[in-house]
Amino acid sequence: MQRLGQRVMADLRRFLYARLLAQPPAFFERRHSGELLSRFTADVPLVEFSVAQALSSYIKDGLQILALLVTCALIDAKLFLFTFVVMPATVVPVARFARSLKKVALRSQTSLGALTSLTAEQLQNLPVVQAYGGVPRALSRFDEEAGRYFGEMRRSLFLRGAFSPTVEMLGIAGVALVVMWGARAVSAEPALAGRLLSFVAASLLLYQPVKSLSGTFSQVLTGLVAAERLFALADEPAPPDEGREAEPLKQALVLEGLRATYLDGREGLRGVDLTVPAGARVALVGASGAGKTTLFSILLGFLPSSGGEVRWDGVPLRELKPSSVRAQMAWVSQEPMLFSGTVRHNLLLGRPGASDAELWEALTLAHARDFVSTLPAGLDEPVGERGSRLSGGQRQRPDTQACPGCGTQGHDLDARFCKRCGTALDWKGP
């Protein structure tokens, strides 16, 4: 059962991660990555416990309880009916406990998410926090959030602690009723004594499985809340990667009255007309906030257009498979984005399978050959988290290699198309 639980959880983790990887940037604008991470680190293990541990105990204890109830009914049906009419009475307090516990579990899990988000953000921006004397403020915000989490956990532990004794009390009340009723019945009909004894013995045997079931019940409820949070993530619609395959551009990329509206209603583009013939080198120049990045977000399928049309050799962009359009583009993000592997690892993202000679050629084009060759391990030098072991300018250079064959430079341009393959670059020079 535990192996099965582990397998289910591994599949769930993978499914959720695949879901996240398919989400457009707008999805992450509404959420904090720390909060999403807490679902993987905290919620998945809670569900894991419910599935792996509690489920097996539920089956074992549930079967025992069922068998003992049948035994009691067979011993004396009347006594059984009388005694176990108290059972429905237990449903009310149990349901109330369950509701409160679920509420507290949801609040504590949300609070843990907020705590993770806060910590991740402060640590990521630690140089700024330290430079501006923000450490005491960071610590007091942490204390505030941690205090909230601690309070929720205390409430949750109190409820869990109170749950088992309540169920046990109800059980004892049931047995006491049997004894009372039985004693009266036996005084009227002494032959019943033997059956009463067997009945009480069978009812007492119920104690252990009921106790163990109620012990894991609260954990199962917490697991259920965690599962709800995970399923909410799984239910997020991800844009499907479907449509016709985009071929390399042969004629032109045409934008007709292209509009873009962000989730908050702000307009990124208000009717752009532009024709880019295949192979042409076109620079998009405009004031900050003019909409250059927005335009590339639409071309890359990160943002849906809210009006107008983009035609790729005459075919509307929305009819093309987004991943096949992306495969025709080389995009250099305005903000340098490096992964915490080596220089090679980062370069290969642009063209998996490129040879060392091609990588050095790409580095030459990006004016990065000199500094990479001075690194102790050259191409195999780790760049640190988000390129933290490189200088600000150096960080941008391996990044520009998303289009290694392009060769176009021009540090004064913000956005342009690659002449060689008609691909789009949205590039901020160092």
Ligand X SMILES: Nc1ncnc2c1ncn2[C@@H]1O[C@H](COP(=O)(O)OP(=O)(O)OP(=O)(O)O)[C@@H](O)[C@H]1O
Least distance to Mg ion, CB of residue 391, Å: 22
CA distance 277 to 281: 9
Q: Minimal CA–CA distance to 5: which of 223, 321, 178?
A: 223
Least distance to Mg ion, CB of residue 239, Å: 22
CA–CA–CA angle 84, 89, 95 (5° rounding): 125
Q: Which of residues 307-336 bind ligand X (CB under 6 A)?
A: 334
Q: Minimal CA–CA distance to 372: which of 391, 385, 354?
A: 391
**Phi and psi, residue 267, nearest 5°:** -95, 125
Selected binder of ligand X within 14, 78, 137, 266 (CB under 6 A): 266
Token digits for 245? 């395959």
Token digits for 77? 């049906």
For residue 99, what are the CA distances in angstroms to 46, 53, 102, 264?
A: 18, 22, 5, 35
Token digits for 225? 């809340």
Query: Per CB under 6 A, does 429 bind ligand X?
Result: no
Query: Per CB under 6 A, does 262 bind ligand X?
Result: yes
* Count of residues of this chain found to bind Mg ion when the rule CB under 5 A is applied: 2
Token digits for 312? 């790729």
Selected binder of ligand X within 219, 222, 294, 400 (CB under 6 A): 294
Stretch that binds ligand X, among 65-73, 217-225, 241-249, 291-299 (CB under 6 A): 291-299
Selected binder of ligand X within 248, 289, 384, 429 (CB under 6 A): 289
Q: Minimal CA–CA distance to 206: which of 105, 87, 322, 319?
A: 87
Least distance to ligand X, CB of residue 266, Å: 4
The option from ligand X, Mg ion, none interacting with 290 (CB < 5 to 8 A, set by class) reads: ligand X
CA distance 376 to 59: 59
Helical pair 86-124 and 77-84, crossing angle rounded to 10 deg: 40
Q: Residue 229 or residue 395: which is nearer to ligand X going by CB?
A: 395
Stretch that binds Mg ion, among 171-179, 181-189, 329-337, 366-374 (CB under 5 A): 329-337
Query: Per CB under 6 A, does 285 bind ligand X?
Result: no
Query: Per CB under 6 A, does 23 bind ligand X?
Result: no
Query: Per CB under 6 A, does 268 bind ligand X?
Result: yes
Least distance to Mg ion, CB of residue 269, Å: 12
Query: Per CB under 6 A, does 298 bind ligand X?
Result: no
Stretch that binds ligand X, among 76-84, 179-187, 262-270, 273-281 (CB under 6 A): 262-270
For residue 394, what are the CA distances in angstroms to 336, 343, 389, 401?
A: 10, 11, 10, 12
Query: Per CB under 5 A, does 293 bind Mg ion?
Result: yes
Q: Residue 218 or residue 297: which is nearer to Mg ion going by CB?
A: 297
Least distance to ligand X, CB of residue 231, Å: 27
CA distance 242 to 247: 15
Query: Per CB under 6 A, does 39 bind ligand X?
Result: no
Stretch that binds ligand X, among 80-88, 126-134, 174-182, 288-296 (CB under 6 A): 288-296
Secondary-structure breakdown of the chain: helix, strand, coil percentages, each rounded to the nearest 5: 65, 10, 25
SS3 202: helix
Query: Per CB under 6 A, does 288 bind ligand X?
Result: yes
Selected binder of ligand X within 76, 152, 399, 414 (CB under 6 A): 414
For residues 228 to 257, the per-residue mask of contacts with ligand X, x marking binding by CB under 6 A and - elsewhere, is ------------------------------
Residue 180, burial from CB neighbour count under 10 angstroms (0-12, 13-18, 19+): exposed
Q: Residue 112 or residue 255: which is nearer to ligand X going by CB?
A: 255
Give the number of other Cβ atoms within 10 Å of residue 145's Cβ: 18
Q: Are 419 and 279 in contact (CB under 8 A)?
A: yes
CA distance 168 to 351: 65
Query: Per CB under 6 A, does 292 bind ligand X?
Result: yes
Stretch that binds ligand X, among 194-202, 264-272, 319-327, 392-400 (CB under 6 A): 264-272
Applying CB under 6 A, the residues found at the interface with ligand X are: 29, 262, 264, 266, 268, 286, 288-294, 334, 414
Applying CB under 5 A, the residues found at the interface with Mg ion are: 293, 334
